[in-house]
Chains A and B, each alone.
Chain A
Amino acid sequence: MLEVAINHRFGSFDLDVDFAAPAGLTAIFGQSGAGKSSIINAVAGLLRADNARICLNGVDLARLPVHLRRVGYVFQEARLFPHLSVRGNLGYGRWFRKGGLEFDRVVGILGLEALLWRRPAGLSGGEKQRVAIARALLSNPQILLMDEPLSALDGARKAEILPYLERLRDEAGLPILYVSHAVAEVARLATTLVVIEAGRVLRAGPAAEVMGDPAMAQAMGLREAGALIAARVVEHAADGLSHLQTTGGIVVLPRVAAAVGAEVRLRIPAQDVMIALSHPQDISALNVLAATILSIRRGEGPGAIVSLDLGGERLLARVTQRSVEALKLAVGMQVYAVLKSVALAQGDIGS
């Protein structure tokens, strides 16, 4: 358990945050300039905050110099040492902090066996970032800090590294503080979500709860906002579709890479959810779930965010205010949610 309270003034910008990061991956989400990187730099000690209390397992890291804090920091740019081989880079932290994860195991998790004798200058961006992650892990840290580790990479490289990050979250047993401004990444990785705006914590809590909060839709970006709901794989049908059980009923997805019985998390973007008053007939959408309206939040523009209850889980729908009027939507009404797209956000989240 990590508890962070930081107060720092840079010129006219005032950073004042206070949140807790339980086990798993805590994503610090916010737009550029919101103060995300300053938070993890203060945790690492690279930023000397005016006032900071950073309690990790009962020890206040803020009192320690950087090299004694035992943080593993993965920077946006890999920052590998150019004069050392990959093996030299990986071994660097072990020189100072013995113990921790086994060398071969980390090399295996990140698929670095073939790169050990190469020099950083000859590696691709994705390879460099994998080496940087392994280097941080091997320095026997008590917490892993990641500052937009994927933002410098293209889509293919991101896809290459995301599974490694999921394995880390699920296998390494280290708390991870992860800075990002990409909603898809956060939806896929976060256990806990802290939303930062202009140096303040807007909201902190379990990822599904925060992402399902209609008040957060603006901060997450209207195009990207959307709920996370839990589901269990019940069947892989012969026509290439998978059936997943949610609290609102069965959802059908193109074949998902998870075994029958696996607990997964689905991400349903708010702008891909339509609302119907009766069960629509003759429609191509396969996923139509019965739901109850929990709240209607009108935005400043022509849009509105409707929060729906799916028998316990929350779903967000982004519709126009004109539709709200036309359908006479009101809190407590029984409606049908038509899902235009559903994506697997997190693979097997275990039980």
Chain B
Amino acid sequence: MADWLTPEAWQAVRLSLWVAVWATVCSLPVAIAVAWLLARRAFWGKQVLNGLVHLPLILPPVVTGYVLLVTFGKRGLVGPALADIGVVFSFRWTGAALAAAVMGFPLMVRAIRLSIEAVDLRLEDAARTLGASGAWVFATVTLPLALPGVLAGAVLGFAKALGEFGATITFVSAIPGETQTLPSAIYAALQVPGQDAVVARMVAVSVVLAMGALVASELLARTLRRRIEGRDA
């Protein structure tokens, strides 16, 4: 089984999963907060925020990667300052995770925003009359009821992070073992003649991972929804 894929390819698979998990876990709280702001609050600059969130979805990925490079790179806008406190993104797996998070962010926010908007405001009002402050209403009513959508958003973001290519390779290149994720490895293998079998297998792994994430989230969402809609067990 272990030699079904080359050690380099296995390394790329492990790195991809590692990067995608970190990207998802770190961006989820931010995505929930932004989605809540967009769904429930009216404020000056709301459309600007909405546009910014969606930017990575419509920009060419190479542009997003370039923006990350000039912002977080070694000689970027905030890169050196962050390096001083020990946070380095350039040519590290952390940079790959940042690129993946940024690219998946709009997908997450969209899904979570829709599910928050679907939560009945009248239930939130009822919670307020029962003594819950704004934060408690969110934690005990809005978030639990929006959970299936939050989960869907997280899975979308995770799948996007697994597959992210353009922004990652522009920002942190494709250093085997550090920033060469599965898509980069597939692309690199394609450049070498006679690697068809290796490419096909890595592509298969890619498909299985994405499908696996989707199926798992679907099952989990169904269970959650049943619990929320609360038929008697």
A121 close to B231 (CB less than 8 A): yes
Q: Which residues of A contact B120 (CB under 8 A)?
A: 79
A96 proximity list for chain B (CB < 8 A): 130-132, 136
Q: Which residues of A contact B144 (CB under 8 A)?
A: 83
Q: Please indicate the chain B residues that have their CB under 8 angstroms from the CB of A65 in the complex.
A: 133
CB pair B125 A46 closer than 8 Å:
yes
Chain A's nearest CB lies how many Å from the CB of B89? 39
Q: How many residues of B contact A (CB 8 A)?
A: 24
- Say yes or no: is A223 at the interface (Cβ < 8 Å to chain B): no
Please state if A81 and B123 are interface contacts (CB–CB under 8 Å): yes
Shortest CB-to-CB span from B193 to chain A, Å, is 57
A44 CB within 8 Å of chain B:
yes
Query: Does B228 count as interface, using CB distance less than 8 angstroms?
Result: yes
- Determine whether B230 belongs to the interface, using a CB cutoff of 8 Å to chain A: yes
- Judge if A139 is at the interface, Cβ distance under 8 Å: yes
Known: A75-B122, A77-B122, A96-B136. A82 touches B129 (CB 8 A): no
**Interchain CA distance A121-B133 in the complex, whole Å:** 26
In the complex, the answer to whether B141 meets A81 with C-beta atoms within 8 Å is yes
Pick from B133, B145, B232: contact of A82, CB under 8 Å: B145
Task: Find out whether the CB atom of A82 lies under 8 angstroms from the CB atom of B130.
Answer: no
CA distance A148 to B133 in the complex (A): 26
Given A82-B145, A92-B127, A139-B131, A122:B122 Cβ within 8 A = no
Task: Please count how many residues in chain A sit with their CB below 8 Å of the partner chain's CB atoms.
Answer: 34
1/0 per residue, CB under 8 A from B, across A202-240: the answer is: 000000000000000000000000000000000000000
Instruction: Decide if B227 is an interface residue (CB 8 Å cutoff).
Output: yes
Tell me, in angstroms, the Cα distance from A173 to B129 when the chains sit together. Answer: 20
In the bound complex, how far is the Cα of B231 from the Cα of A119, in angstroms?
6
Do B130 and A75 touch (CB < 8 A)?
no
Closest to B122 in A: A79
In B209-233, the 8 Å CB interface with A consists of 227-233
B130, A135: Cβ atoms closer than 8 Å: yes
Interface string of A19-50 (1 = CB under 8 A from B): 00000000000000000000000001110000
A182 within 8 A of B: no
Q: Is the CB of A119 within 8 A of B232?
A: yes
Q: Are B131 and A46 in contact (CB under 8 A)?
A: no
Which of B129-150 touch A at CB < 8 Å? 129-133, 136, 140-141, 144-145
Residue B207 interfacial (CB < 8 Å)? no
Contact residues in A for B75 (Cβ distance below 8 Å): none
Which chain A residues in 74-114 approach chain B with CB under 8 Å? 75, 77, 79, 81-85, 92-93, 95-97
Instruction: Please pick, from B123, B127, B131, B230, the residue contacting A97 in the complex, using a CB distance under 8 A.
Output: B131
Question: In the complex, which residues of chain A have a beta carbon less than 8 angstroms from the beta carbon of B231?
Answer: 119, 121-122
Give the residue of A46, A83, A119, A139 whose beta carbon is less than 8 angstroms from that of B130: A139
Chain A to chain B contacts (Cβ below 8 Å), 17 pairs = A46-B129, A66-B125, A66-B129, A67-B128, A67-B136, A79-B120, A79-B126, A81-B126, A82-B228, A83-B230, A92-B127, A93-B131, A95-B131, A97-B131, A119-B231, A136-B130, A139-B131
For the complex of A and B, the 5 pairs showing the least CB-CB separation, nearest first, are A96-B131, A119-B230, A93-B130, A73-B129, A79-B126
Other contacts beyond A82-B145, A83-B145, A122-B230: 18, CB < 8 A:
A44-B129, A45-B128, A45-B129, A46-B129, A65-B133, A67-B128, A69-B129, A75-B122, A77-B122, A79-B122, A81-B123, A81-B126, A84-B230, A92-B140, A95-B132, A118-B232, A121-B230, A122-B231
